[in-house]
Structure 1
Amino acid sequence: MFEKKTILVTGGTGSWGYELVRQLLGFNPKEIRIFSRNESNQFTMKQEFDNDRRLKFLIGDIKEREELTEACKGADYVFHLAALKHVPVCEDQPLEALKTNVNGTQNVIDAAIACNVDRVVYISTDKASNPSNFYGLSKAMGERLIIHANTLNAKTRFVCIRGGNVLGTNGSVIHVFKKHIQEKGKIGITDVNMTRFFLTLEQAIRLVFKATRESIGGEIFVMKMPSCKIIDLAHVLIEDSGKENVDIEILGVRPGEKIHELLLSEYESKTTILYDAEYYVILPPIYIEGLKEEYASYKPANLKNYNSSKDLMSKDEIRVMLKKGRFI
């Protein structure tokens, strides 16, 4: 699918981008353009990939439409990862989140259409489902823009992929907990009942490729992901550290933070089909030619919602997940 193709990755120097590029190289693409505003990360990434000639690093910001359009020229696929992602940052600076996560996404759409890109894949988050914070709201708006772009009578097809927390990404709770165990001898937990979806980065990227390959355009592919209690995750990391007398401090829920995350809301469940063992697919409320007909033979998901409080992993299962991700 990607052999001899030109691929643009926005926000390509983050954790998702690094793993995406690593796996894309295995498909022998013609060129991968890594578009980001982090000069230091670009330099480091270039060294870590041994100056692979198929990689082209471009300094740029998705808020700048002209630079983005230039980066899109000749591209076959665009993976749109660039975003402001941290909930507290987006709560404190909502205008910046709006400019990057919403206006920036529209710039990606416009650039892709102008350059006749085949497919744009937008990586979204569980926080976009029934959003309670500005980060989730801005990503939900990005989803709507991406879905609507399929009605613009362009060659380009647009698809969303929604997932939960990915282990080991920048700012991940795993890194924070491990650092605090070693340096402070304590971990801060916002609420003892808090649960989250988790998946390893390698698994998440494989699922991204599957949705890229099999999507029509206009869907939201929702990853099926295991979930766990954050306090159970903390206990496993404490046990693995070998340190004794590590305290757990209850901090209280931060503004905009949910106790349980949703990958699929009650409203969305009405138009959701059971795709396979790894995905649900949310069909859009707007008309996109041929889309509903394509999925007519699939069964409805028959879910009230899909939230992280259900089917929780045991501590042993959490330990297996962390070992698989090489975090313990």
Structure 2
Amino acid sequence: MFNNQIVLVTGGTGSWGHELISQLLTHNPKEIRIFSRNESAQFTMKQEFDSNPKLKFIIGDIKEKDALIEACHNVDYVFHLAALKHVPVCEDQPIEALKTNVIGTQNVIDAAIACEVHRVVYISTDKASNPSNFYGLSKAMGERLIIHANTLNTKTRFVCIRGGNVLGTNGSVIHVFKKQIQEKQKVGITDLNMTRFFLTVQDAIKLVFKATFESVGGEIFVMKMPACKIVDLAQVLIDASKKENVEIEILGVRPGEKIDELLLSEYESKTTIAYDEEYFVILPSIHIDGIKEQYADYKPANLQSYHSGTGLMTQAEIKDMLLKGGFIK
């Protein structure tokens, strides 16, 4: 699908962006444009990819529509990764989260339509489902804007992909825990019952491509992901470190945090179909041409909700996941 195509990745210098671009390069694209505001990250990434001539680095901010329109010129696919992602940052500075995650997403939509991009893929989060914090609210609004864009007078198609935590990404709890174990011999956990969804970045990008290839436009593809207790994840990392007498400290739940995360809410379950072994698909509540016909033969998901407190991994399964991701030896 990407053979000889031009691809734009917003926020492409992060962990998702690195893996996305690595896998995109195997599909022989004509050009990959990495659009972000982090100059030093772009410089480092350029070196990591040995100054690959197919990569074009563009300094820019999705809050600037004109810069996006210029970056989208002749582009076939846009992967929209750029966002403010940390819950405490978005709680402390909601206006900045609004400008980046909501207005910035609308700018991506407008630029893609203006430049007649073939398809836009929006990477969302489990925190957008029944949101309890400003980050989740802003990403949920982004989802609605992306879905609504399919009703506009354009041939550009827009699709959302919703996932949980990706192992080892910037600011990941794994990096935080490993540093705490080494430097403090103490791990801080907000609540002993807290659970989260996890997936390796390699598997996440494979699922992103699958949804990109198979979507109609207007759906939310929801990744089926394993979940675990955060305290079990911490214990596996402690055991792997071989350090003795590492304490687990209970910090208390931060503003906007949930004990369990939702990938699919009770409300959304009413319009969700069981797509295959890897995805649920939430169909839009608004009318979008062709989408009901496309999914007419699929069965309803028959779920009340899909949250991280069920089907939890054992510590042995968590260890296997971390070994696979290269986070422990």
- The TM-score, its normalising length taken from structure 2, stands at 1.00
The yes-or-no answer on 1:224 pairing with 2:250 is no
State the match for 2:185 in structure 1: 185
**1:143-292 counterparts in 2 under 5 A?**
143-292=143-292
State the match for 1:53 in structure 2: 53
The yes-or-no answer on 1:90 pairing with 2:90 is yes
Report how far residue 140 of structure 1 moved: 0.0
State the match for 2:322 in structure 1: 322
The residue identity in structure 2 corresponding to 1:106 is Q
The residue identity in structure 1 corresponding to 2:291 is L
The residue identity in structure 1 corresponding to 2:231 is I
Cα deviation digits, residues 98-148 of structure 1 (max 9, x gap): 000000000000000000000000000000000000000000000000000
The residue identity in structure 2 corresponding to 1:80 is H
Report how far residue 153 of structure 1 moved: 1.9
Alignment partners' CA distance in 1, 2:135 and 2:30: 34
Alignment partners' CA distance in 2, 1:151 and 1:232: 45
Alignment partners' CA distance in 1, 2:178 and 2:121: 33
The residue identity in structure 1 corresponding to 2:303 is L
Q: Which runs of 5+ in 2 are unaligned?
A: none
Alignment partners' CA distance in 2, 1:69 and 1:153: 18
Report how far residue 293 of structure 1 moved: 1.1
Alignment partners' CA distance in 2, 1:73 and 1:96: 27
Q: Which runs of 5+ in 1 are unaligned?
A: none
The residue identity in structure 2 corresponding to 1:289 is D
State the match for 1:296 in structure 2: 296
State the match for 2:110 in structure 1: 110
The residue identity in structure 1 corresponding to 2:86 is H
Count how many residue pairs are aligned between Structure 1 and Structure 2.
328
SS of the residue corresponding to residue 320 of structure 2 reads helix
Alignment partners' CA distance in 1, 2:306 and 2:188: 27
Between the aligned residues of both structures, percent identity stands at 79
How well do the aligned residues superpose, as a CA RMSD in angstroms? 0.3
Cα deviation digits, residues 15-42 of structure 1 (max 9, x gap): 1001100110000100000000000000
Alignment partners' CA distance in 2, 1:241 and 1:47: 31
- The TM-score, its normalising length taken from structure 1, stands at 1.00
